[in-house]
Amino acid sequence: MLQLPKPSCKTVLVSLDDSYERCRQITQEYAKTFYLGTLLMPEEKRRAIWAIYVWCRRTDELVDGAEAAYTTDETLDQWEENLETIFAGHPLEDVDVALVDTLERFPLDIQPFRDMIEGQRMDLYRNRYETFEELKLYCYRVAGTVGLMSAAVMGVDESRRTAPWSKGGAVDPTQEAIALGIANQLTNILRDVGEDARRGRIYLPLEDLALFNYTEADLFNGVVDERWRELMKFQIQRARKFFVQAESGVGLLSRDARFPVWSALMLYRQILDAIERNRYDVFRKRAYVSGPRKLLSLPLARLRAEVL
Ligand SMILES: CC(C)=CCC/C(C)=C/CC/C(C)=C/CC/C(C)=C/[C@@H]1[C@@H](COP(=O)(O)OP(=O)(O)O)[C@]1(C)CC/C=C(\C)CC/C=C(\C)CCC=C(C)C
Ligand SMILES: Nc1ncnc2c1ncn2[C@@H]1O[C@H](COP(=O)(O)OP(=O)(O)OP(=O)(O)O)[C@@H](O)[C@H]1O
Ligand SMILES: [Mn+2]
């Protein structure tokens, strides 16, 4: 379990290298798919993503981790104050040393960090989403924000923005970065339907359940029938649209970021294929992408990074 903030005032913190090393270890331990993607990046960017990953993971743990029962609105207020301190250049804990260094090196905006805390706050109070618009806001906050943070580290390819043949003026792949976060989060939701239901949570929009005549009771009983399969097909199609939107932004990123992002995109998207292979039974089978399948995707990701 990740160590969460204690009300201590530690004055001596670890060295920069040790702090980044701790972030690397945590990323490797918790995020197998994303860690693989970061290994394909240049050192400075890779380390920055690890530092950001750790902050995101710890924020998520506040409402999702083993000690989540003790998290209140005030805990999140305190976490946001700590964030302001970090953005003022003052690390509070060992892993913040790397984050402060990352903030010095890359043009990261504080707003996506704040927005992610708001997303976690939604988890404190809500366990249902009536419409897709409401769910999309949640997805933006907990995952679209990660896209914005990551894109700020990866940077854009200036030549693609300024060349005379590029379509009219400055283009930042902001919406595409958000779209990839949302696509990942929707995929994550579909994979974890059963696990979430066991915690009394439903992230599928209730309006969609109604559309397919599938009830909350069906969901809690893990009913897999035609209604469920059609509902899942609809959800998968929606997630894939966000992946498609994200695809068009990868070519605008700096050259050294394209292979890692294509890899992360293709690997995470394959979870949707795995759900289909499991005939949409997300209650009894975990949808995952095997090691060999992951490896097989890398040459294609490389090719796309080169030519698109
Ligand atoms: C390769 C790369 C650049 C990775 C980014 C790594 C990073 C900073 C990840 C942070 C993830 C995190 C801990 C977010 C907290 C909220 C959360 C849990 C979101 C879900 C992640 C899935 O994690 P996991 O499978 O471990 O989930 P469990 O909690 O265990 O159930 C999310 C699904 C969100 C992940 C979102 C992204 C990685 C955003 C990707 C977008 C980009 C890299 C932008 C690319 C730019 C363009 C222009 C396309
Ligand atoms: N800066 C922001 N602050 C708050 N929420 C945001 C912000 N940017 C994006 N969002 C949320 O993320 C969602 C996804 O944005 P995006 O524009 O990529 O979706 P979209 O599917 O293209 O939007 P639409 O269907 O409305 O055309 C938005 O609908 C919004 O809820
Ligand atoms: Mn989580």
Q: Which ipTM value was assigned to this complex?
A: 0.71
pLDDT at site 165? 67
Cβ of 251 less than 6 Å from ligand 1:
no
Q: Domain check: are 35 and 134 in the same one?
A: no
pLDDT at site 167? 62
Q: Domain check: are 130 and 104 in the same one?
A: no
Q: Domain check: are 69 and 136 in the same one?
A: no
Cβ of 142 less than 6 Å from ligand 1:
yes
CATH number of the domain within which 182 lies: 1.10.600.10
Give the pLDDT confidence of 160-173 residue by residue, as tens digits. Answer: 767 776 665 557 89
Average pLDDT estimate for 107-121: 98
pLDDT at site 37? 86
Confirm whether 3 is domain-assigned. no
pLDDT at site 83? 98
Percent of the chain with pLDDT over 90: 88
Q: Domain check: are 85 and 161 in the same one?
A: no
Instruction: Give the position, in ligand 1's atom list, of the atom nearest the Cα of 57.
Output: 13
Q: Domain check: are 173 and 298 in the same one?
A: yes
pLDDT for 1 beyond 60: no
Average pLDDT estimate for 21-28: 97
pLDDT for 75 beyond 80: yes
**189-to-80, 123, 130 alpha-carbon distances in Å:** 26, 13, 15
- The DSSP string of 226-279 is HHHHHHHHHHHHHHHHHHHHHHHHHTTB-HHHHHHHHHHHHHHHHHHHHHHHTT
- Domain total in the chain: 2
Last residue of a domain, one of 109, 135, 168: 109
Confirm whether 282 is domain-assigned. yes
Confirm whether 120 is domain-assigned. no
Average pLDDT estimate for 43-63: 97
227 alpha carbon to ligand 1 midpoint, in Å? 30
pLDDT at site 32? 82
Last residue of a domain, one of 109, 140, 169: 109
189 alpha carbon to ligand 3 midpoint, in Å? 10
Q: Domain check: are 217 and 302 in the same one?
A: yes
Nearest to 233 by CA among 214, 247, 249, 215: 214
Q: What is the dihedral of CA 284, 189, 184, 5, to 10 degrees?
A: -110
pLDDT at site 158? 83
pLDDT at site 268? 94
- Work out the widest C-alpha separation in the chain, in whole angstroms: 60
Average pLDDT estimate for 73-87: 98
Q: How far is CA 295 from the centre of its chain?
A: 21
Residue of 116, 137, 178, 240 to test ligand 2 pocket, by largest number of atoms within 8 Å of CB? 178
Give the pLDDT confidence of 168-196 residue by residue, as tens digits. Answer: 555 789 999 999 999 999 999 999 999 99
Q: How far is CA 210 from the centre of its chain?
A: 28
pLDDT for 5 beyond 80: no
Q: Domain check: are 229 and 91 in the same one?
A: no
Q: Domain check: are 227 and 258 in the same one?
A: yes
Confirm whether 115 is domain-assigned. no
Q: Domain check: are 136 and 269 in the same one?
A: yes
Close Cβ partners of 263 (under 8 Å, ≥ 6 residues apart):
36, 37, 40, 297, 298, 301
Q: Which domain holds residue 304?
A: 126-308
Contact (CB, 8 A) for 37 and 260: yes
Q: Domain check: are 142 and 281 in the same one?
A: yes
> Residues 40, 43, 49, 50: is their CA dihedral positive or negative?
positive
Residue of 58, 150, 171 to test ligand 1 pocket, by largest number of atoms within 8 Å of CB? 150
Instruction: Give the position, in ligand 1's atom list, of the atom nearest the Cα of 257.
Output: 3
Confirm whether 8 is domain-assigned. no
Confirm whether 166 is domain-assigned. yes
60 alpha carbon to ligand 3 midpoint, in Å? 6
Last residue of a domain, one of 109, 139, 173: 109
Q: Domain check: are 150 and 81 in the same one?
A: no
Percent of the chain with pLDDT over 70: 94
Average pLDDT estimate for 197-207: 97
Angle between helices 43-64 and 94-105 (to 10 degrees): 130
pLDDT for 9 beyond 60: no
Please measure the distance between the N-terminal and C-terminal CA atoms of the chain and give it in whole angstroms.
Answer: 40
Residue of 140, 174, 185 to test ligand 2 pocket, by largest number of atoms within 8 Å of CB? 140
Give the pLDDT confidence of 257-296 residue by residue, as tens digits. Answer: 999 999 999 999 999 999 999 999 999 999 999 999 999 9
CA dist 201 and 66 (Å) reads 17
Confirm whether 2 is domain-assigned. no
pLDDT at site 11? 75
pLDDT for 140 beyond 80: yes
Ligand 2 atom 19 nearest Cα:
179
**108-to-60, 91, 99, 192, 278 alpha-carbon distances in Å:** 19, 16, 11, 31, 40
pLDDT at site 33? 78
Cβ of 196 less than 6 Å from ligand 1:
no
Contact (CB, 8 A) for 193 and 284: no
Tokens standing for residue 243: 């992946």
Q: Domain check: are 238 and 161 in the same one?
A: yes
What mean pLDDT, rounded, does the chain reach?
A: 94
Confirm whether 223 is domain-assigned. yes
